[in-house]
Chains A and B, each alone.
Chain A
Amino acid sequence: MSPKAGWALDEIAARIARDLEPGSCVNLGIGMPIRVGAHLDPAAGVILTSENGLIGIGPPPEPNRHDPDVIDAGKGPVTLLPGASVLDHADAFALIRGGRLDVGVLGAFQVSQRGDLASWRRPTEPLGSVGGAMDIAVGARKRYAVMMHCDKSGEPKIVQYCTYPLTAPRCVNRIYTDMAVIDVTEQGLVVREIHPGLSLADLRAVTGASLLPLAAN
């Protein structure tokens, strides 16, 4: 029986937003990660970038006021802050791979206990879409994966070994789900935070790999 307690998508997004260092350069992937932008404190000065060359993305536009040439990776309308700039695609990925991107927040189908990420194709589907995920997974200085803790049929998405095709091996530093925040460490998966309605035993019951409690030090 799977526990029902869990954070809403916007609560997960707000949790990730709190973990982004002031002034850091961040890429938000398509899907759940893009929600993080709406929860950033403007005073923190996090620099949001997009794989299609935008640096300095601001809040969503007001309805019917959007600029059709200003979109993010998810192809949705966004705004540019004062001080924003634009790169072409080759340079946008130079930024991603070249060490200037502090954090990449990536959606995920599965994450393994050693931090392998699978995010671009379900094994049952012949057609996958990788987009910029493979570049961000190897290029960002820190890689955060965000996903529901279980898939729609209740199967764990945190696993010993990914059964879905990999985006990159050993790349995820931290996993955010509706149930927990988990760090990928040399020692294994360490639970940093758990939904207040759940026990560690509840979490272990819906996780396909060993979980270590946060050391009490």
Chain B
Amino acid sequence: MAQTVGGGRNKLWSSARLAVADISDGAVVLVGGFGDVGVPFRLLDALAAHTARGLTVVSNNCGTGERGLAALFKAGLVSKACASFPSQSGNHHFKAAFDRGEVELELIPQGTLAERIRCAGAGLGGFYTRTGFGTELADGHQTREINGVRYILELPLRGDVALISADVADEAGNLRFRRSARNFNPVMAMAAGLTIVQVNRIIPVGALDPDDVHLPGVFVDRLVELTSP
């Protein structure tokens, strides 16, 4: 048999339910997506049914309607949310949990959220940014002037688990994303101890040209195809 990257280590999981079953209470879960685009709905629905409690979710938004993140808030499974834009319309389950005092919110500027996650994935200890300087979101942050510009220190944000949505994967876990569904997914996939990906379509290893891979499979632990239960 011809040699392939990863030697055919099996990353394919037969169901979303099994793929998320070992997420434990109190886990920090990075969740890809922006609005409803690029959100790993299947994995989130499985997580809501699995009922790990006291989760910290890191996501740009806090879910809309009844599915996905909204289902986690509805089920009372989240104790903290790290987000840049939690107050979008249709977020009634997050809003209710926030108003009841069940959920702590860490509001993070969107670019800082993305860069803190990137920083964790890149093995860095933090970064200085102008974003937020002179605002209440800089409270408690170290500041520093570099070449006459004032910055605040931001620290990496790492996940125990990343729940990711991608368009195409090969069996080695190499991923391609589609249009604005890419958003936070690649940086989050690089910044967690366990990266679980729901994917529209899985193709044989070698079917993706190396130059066309958006995220190499070394960052991917588990794949669930959307046709799976």
Residues of A whose CB lies within 8 Å of any CB of B are 50-54, 67-71, 75, 80, 86-90, 92-93, 96-97, 127-135, 138-139, 165-169
B100 contacts the other chain (CB 8 A) = no
Alpha-carbon separation in the docked complex, A27 to B135 (Å): 22
Q: Give a binary string over B107-139; 1 marks a CB under 8 Å from any A CB, 0 the rest.
A: 111111011011000000000011111111100
Alpha-carbon separation in the docked complex, A167 to B131 (Å): 9
B13 contacts the other chain (CB 8 A) = no
Q: Which residues on the B side are within 8 Å of A71 (C-beta)?
A: 34-35, 37, 180
B105 contacts the other chain (CB 8 A) = yes
A68, closest chain B residue (CB): B37
Q: Which residues on the B side are within 8 Å of A132 (C-beta)?
A: 84, 109-111
A97/B131 in contact, CB under 8 A: yes
A88/B182 in contact, CB under 8 A: yes
Alpha-carbon separation in the docked complex, A52 to B34 (Å): 7
Q: Give a binary string over B79-90; 1 marks a CB under 8 Å from any A CB, 0 the rest.
A: 000001111100
Alpha-carbon separation in the docked complex, A172 to B110 (Å): 19
Say yes or no: A97-B129 contact (C-beta < 8 A), given A67-B179, A135-B112, A165-B136: yes
Alpha-carbon separation in the docked complex, A135 to B113 (Å): 11
B87/A128 in contact, CB under 8 A: yes
| Of the residues B35, B105, B107, B118, contact of A75 by C-beta under 8 Å | B35
- The total of Cβ contacts below 8 Å across the A-B interface reads 129
Question: Least Cβ distance of A25 to chain B in Å?
Answer: 16
Would you give 22 A-B contacts (Cβ < 8 Å), ordered by A? Answer: A52-B37, A53-B182, A69-B181, A70-B179, A71-B37, A75-B34, A86-B182, A88-B114, A88-B184, A88-B186, A89-B110, A90-B117, A93-B110, A97-B111, A97-B130, A128-B107, A129-B84, A131-B85, A132-B109, A135-B131, A139-B131, A166-B135
Which of A86, A129, A166, A169 is the most central at the interface, judged by chain B CB atoms within 10 Å of its CB?
A129
The 10 closest A-B pairs by CB, nearest first: A93-B111, A135-B111, A75-B35, A69-B179, A89-B114, A134-B109, A132-B110, A169-B134, A90-B118, A129-B87
Which of B86, B137, B186 is the most central at the interface, judged by chain A CB atoms within 10 Å of its CB?
B137
| Of the residues A51, A86, A134, contact of B179 by C-beta under 8 Å | A86
Say yes or no: A69-B111 contact (C-beta < 8 A), given A90-B187, A168-B134: no
Task: State how many residues of chain B have any CB contact under 8 Å with chain A.
Answer: 44
B130, closest chain A residue (CB): A138
Q: Which residues on the B side are within 8 Å of A131 (C-beta)?
A: 84-85, 109-110
Say yes or no: A88-B109 contact (C-beta < 8 A), given A127-B98, A165-B135: no
- In the complex, given contacts A127-B95, A130-B137, A138-B133, what are 7 additional A-B residue pairs having Cβ atoms less than 8 angstroms apart? A69-B180, A88-B114, A90-B187, A93-B115, A127-B87, A129-B88, A138-B130
Question: Least Cβ distance of B127 to chain A in Å?
Answer: 11
Question: Least Cβ distance of B193 to chain A in Å?
Answer: 19
Question: Least Cβ distance of B41 to chain A in Å?
Answer: 12
Alpha-carbon separation in the docked complex, A56 to B17 (Å): 39
Alpha-carbon separation in the docked complex, A128 to B186 (Å): 27
Alpha-carbon separation in the docked complex, A97 to B128 (Å): 12
Alpha-carbon separation in the docked complex, A80 to B178 (Å): 13
| Of the residues A86, A96, A134, contact of B137 by C-beta under 8 Å | A134
A128, closest chain B residue (CB): B107
Alpha-carbon separation in the docked complex, A198 to B34 (Å): 42
A169, closest chain B residue (CB): B134
Alpha-carbon separation in the docked complex, A53 to B185 (Å): 12
B36 contacts the other chain (CB 8 A) = yes
Q: Which residues on the B side are within 8 Å of A165 (C-beta)?
A: 135-136
B135/A167 in contact, CB under 8 A: yes
Q: Which residues on the A side are within 8 Å of B109 (C-beta)?
A: 130-135
Alpha-carbon separation in the docked complex, A132 to B132 (Å): 11
A168/B135 in contact, CB under 8 A: yes
Q: Which residues on the A side are within 8 Å of B129 (C-beta)?
A: 97
Question: Least Cβ distance of B150 to chain A in Å?
Answer: 10
Q: Give a binary string over B155-182; 1 marks a CB under 8 Å from any A CB, 0 the rest.
A: 0000000000000000000000111111
Alpha-carbon separation in the docked complex, A158 to B177 (Å): 43
Alpha-carbon separation in the docked complex, A90 to B138 (Å): 20
A127/B105 in contact, CB under 8 A: yes
B51 contacts the other chain (CB 8 A) = no
